[in-house]
């Protein structure tokens, strides 16, 4: 979130989200589709609009009363007899117009007072009204559901026309969902970003469309920022800072970051929560849950309740910036042996649940290959080091930073030493892995690297995949089943294989959603993290390199050996485990040396020399 962005880009964020107006869009849709949706109410409104004013006044009015139909002719003796047991009060009937006028006046005064109050308190944003947010969400869900129900109704399943139309519906629905996220903001953008990160799990139309939400989050105004700081820190901005940049370094779904200088001269990054997110988050999640349950009744294969469950669990943690500060300090201590890693220091004396002060760090985004080449940073080294970080977090420590999108991972070259380092930002979302889950996950990856299909099946089933273990293996590795069988470290991902995997995400969507509902909840954020890391590797053209699998293998061996030693009470057994671990790591180091020699000039010279020696003998 500390990434540098231009003023033009920052100013365009709000304009981009404002142009997505679901209300305007839906009005246009309804106007165009009235002829296709001949509902009784739509027809009645159309007829009412077509009638002249006088004809409307002469049209018969029906008023449903508890006692029966209301007579409009003088001398309603018959009606009075039929309502004799009701004991209708003539005075009350005569006074009803007066009461109606009084009620109308009171309602008007209440509305005017509410308007003045809201204006005076600067709460005129339509997003502050729950009915507006709910209305948008319901309308968007209804339009998307109707589109899926009607667009594919009479098309043969599996035909080219069906696949084409399905892709078009996916794209339209993704665009509507993006518009809804931009309009409702906050939690909706957070969930949209999560979906946009699932590159190899959701149809490409969705992931490609929703990815833009990472750079199109709305911004809070200067007045809103001042209000949050005043409420949480008890002081004005000018009392705390010598300077405070109005233009944020970056804006996200839940907060935005500003550069500032403290009174003692320290340059800091100030992360400030959007003021209305906290109040709206629980209601938004409940609304999403209700809508997903309704959609599931229409489409039984639609299994996305895992998304709501994850949001329920993780969003309160992400909204607590003190928790984020603790996570930052924990991971910095945990990975202190990696001298290429930088984690911003937290200034606790000026941090609260909604305001977080950190050491200011800047650099280029980790997927910016042009920036790295310009600054003399080795792309392969950065990719290897990032793989080391995440292998250590996942397999060894079981404490995983689960939001490594490019804005949260920066790179910079130290001008003094010339060493490139990785800056890890935004520590609000971490996944803690249980020991049993971590061991099963380690052994599954070991089996995948060795192409041991029996163990792949065994540990996939233990992680909840069941009979869908081949699909589960493909989801984890983002490789085809043929590549998994052959060995994922044997060849890099080809362009055709990548296209095949992405197309399969749409073809196997029901099975994928079934898997996501069956696997342990710990797996969900790992899958998202894997996809984000693959996206970075793809941008750097380092995906599926042999070195990444070697680092992963090292961490798996260390993790399993440490676990086995902790469970063993025999000295001989512990010594045997340690020797086996050392031998396995030595084999990996030897293989890595072979790969380095094979790819270097020295290695080529050695191979040529040995070849000539062989021929001469």
467 counts as catalytic: no
What span, in angstroms and rounded, lies between the C-alpha atoms of 375 and 364?
10
Contact 557, 584 (CB under 8 A): yes
What was the pLDDT predicted at 461? Answer: 95
Q: Return the closest-CA partner of residue 263 out of 349, 356, 353, 362.
A: 349
**565-596 pLDDT tens trace:** 998 888 999 999 899 889 988 888 887 777 66
State yes or no: pLDDT of 525 exceeds 70: yes
What span, in angstroms and rounded, lies between the C-alpha atoms of 371 and 342?
19
Strand duo 241-244 + 255-262: pairing: antiparallel
What CA–CA distances, in Å, run from 125 to 45, 121, 185?
A: 30, 11, 12
What was the pLDDT predicted at 411? Answer: 96
**421-466 pLDDT tens trace:** 999 999 999 999 999 999 999 999 999 988 899 999 999 999 999 9
Q: What's the Rg (C-alpha) of the chain?
A: 31
What CA–CA distances, in Å, run from 474 to 277, 479, 509?
A: 37, 5, 13
What span, in angstroms and rounded, lies between the C-alpha atoms of 385 and 103?
70
What span, in angstroms and rounded, lies between the C-alpha atoms of 278 and 255?
11
**168-202 pLDDT tens trace:** 999 999 999 999 998 888 889 988 888 888 876 78
47 three-class SS: helix
Q: Which residue has the higher pLDDT, 472 or 490?
A: 472
Measure the N-to-C terminal CA separation of the chain; round to a whole number of Å.
63
- The dihedral through the CA atoms of 306, 329, 336, 250 has a sign that is positive
Q: Write down the pTM of the prediction.
A: 0.72
Contact 170, 56 (CB under 8 A): no
**221-270 pLDDT tens trace:** 999 999 999 999 999 999 999 999 999 998 888 999 999 999 999 999 99
- The dihedral through the CA atoms of 231, 232, 237, 240 has a sign that is positive
Strand duo 420-424 + 341-342: pairing: parallel
What span, in angstroms and rounded, lies between the C-alpha atoms of 403 and 328?
13
The catalytically annotated residue of 199, 368, 403, 440 is 403
461 CB burial (10 A radius; 0-12, 13-18, 19+): middle
What CA–CA distances, in Å, run from 616 to 75, 112, 142?
A: 128, 101, 79
Helix locations, 489-570, DSSP H: 495-507, 509-518, 521-540, 546-567
């Amino acid at each position: 979130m500390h990434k540098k962005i231009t003023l033009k880009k920052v100013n365009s964020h709000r304009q981009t989200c404002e142009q997505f107006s679901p209300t305007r869009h839906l009005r246009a849709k309804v106007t165009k589709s009235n002829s296709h949706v001949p509902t009784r109410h739509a027809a009645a409104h159309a007829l009412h609009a077509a009638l002249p004013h006088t004809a409307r006044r002469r049209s018969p009015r029906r008023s449903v009363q508890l006692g029966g139909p209301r007579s409009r002719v003088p001398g309603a003796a018959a009606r009075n007899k039929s309502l004799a047991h009701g004991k209708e009060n003539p005075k009350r009937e005569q006074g009803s117009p007066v009461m109606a006028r009084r009620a109308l006046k009171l309602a008007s005064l209440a509305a005017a007072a509410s308007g003045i109050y809201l204006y005076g308190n600067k709460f005129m944003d339509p997003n502050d009204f729950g009915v507006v947010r709910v209305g948008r969400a319901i309308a968007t869900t209804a339009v998307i559901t109707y589109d899926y129900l009607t667009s594919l109704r009479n098309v043969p399943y599996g035909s080219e026309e069906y696949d084409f139309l399905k892709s078009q519906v996916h794209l339209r629905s993704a665009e509507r969902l993006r518009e809804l996220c931009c309009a409702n903001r906050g939690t909706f953008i957070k969930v949209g970003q999560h979906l946009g990160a699932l590159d190899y799990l959701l149809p490409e139309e969705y992931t490609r469309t929703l990815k833009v939400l990472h750079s199109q989050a709305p911004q809070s105004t200067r007045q809103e920022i001042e209000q949050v700081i005043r409420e949480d820190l008890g002081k004005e901005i000018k009392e705390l800072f010598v300077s405070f940049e109005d233009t944020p370094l970056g804006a996200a779904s839940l907060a935005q970051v500003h550069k500032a200088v403290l009174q003692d001269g320290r340059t800091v990054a100030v992360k400030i929560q959007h003021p209305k997110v906290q109040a709206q988050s629980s209601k938004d999640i409940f609304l999403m849950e209700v809508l997903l349950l309704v959609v599931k009744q229409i489409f039984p294969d639609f299994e996305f309740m895992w998304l709501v469950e994850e949001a329920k669990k993780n969003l309160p943690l992400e909204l607590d910036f003190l928790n984020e500060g603790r996570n930052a300090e924990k991971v910095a201590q945990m990975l202190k042996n990696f001298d290429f890693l930088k984690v911003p220091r937290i200034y606790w004396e000026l941090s609260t649940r909604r305001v977080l002060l950190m050491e200011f760090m800047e650099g280029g985004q980790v997927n910016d290959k042009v920036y790295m080449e310009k600054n003399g940073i080795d792309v392969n080294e950065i990719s290897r080091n990032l793989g080391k970080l995440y292998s250590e977090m996942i397999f060894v420590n079981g404490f995983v930073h689960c939001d490594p999108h490019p804005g949260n991972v920066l790179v910079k070259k130290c001008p003094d030493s010339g060493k490139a380092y990785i800056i890890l930002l935004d520590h609000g979302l971490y996944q803690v892995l249980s020991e049993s889950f971590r061991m099963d996950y380690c052994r599954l990856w070991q089996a995948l690297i060795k192409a041991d299909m029996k163990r792949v099946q065994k540990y996939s089933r233990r992680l909840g995949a069941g009979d869908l273990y081949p699909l589960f293996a493909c989801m984890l590795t983002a490789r085809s089943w043929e590549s998994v069988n052959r060995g994922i470290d044997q060849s890099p991902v080809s362009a055709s294989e990548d296209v095949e995997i992405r197309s399969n995400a749409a073809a196997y969507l029901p099975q994928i959603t079934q898997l996501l509902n069956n696997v342990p909840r710990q797996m969900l954020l790992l899958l998202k993290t894997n996809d984000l890391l693959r996206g970075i590797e793809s941008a750097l053209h380092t995906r599926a390199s042999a070195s990444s699998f070697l680092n992963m293998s090292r961490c798996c061996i260390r993790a399993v050996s440490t676990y086995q030693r902790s469970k063993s009470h025999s000295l001989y057994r512990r010594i045997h485990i340690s020797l086996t671990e050392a031998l396995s790591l030595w084999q990996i180091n030897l293989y890595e040396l072979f790969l380095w020699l094979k790819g270097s000039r020295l290695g080529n010279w050695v191979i040529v020399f040995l070849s000539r020696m062989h021929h001469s003998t």
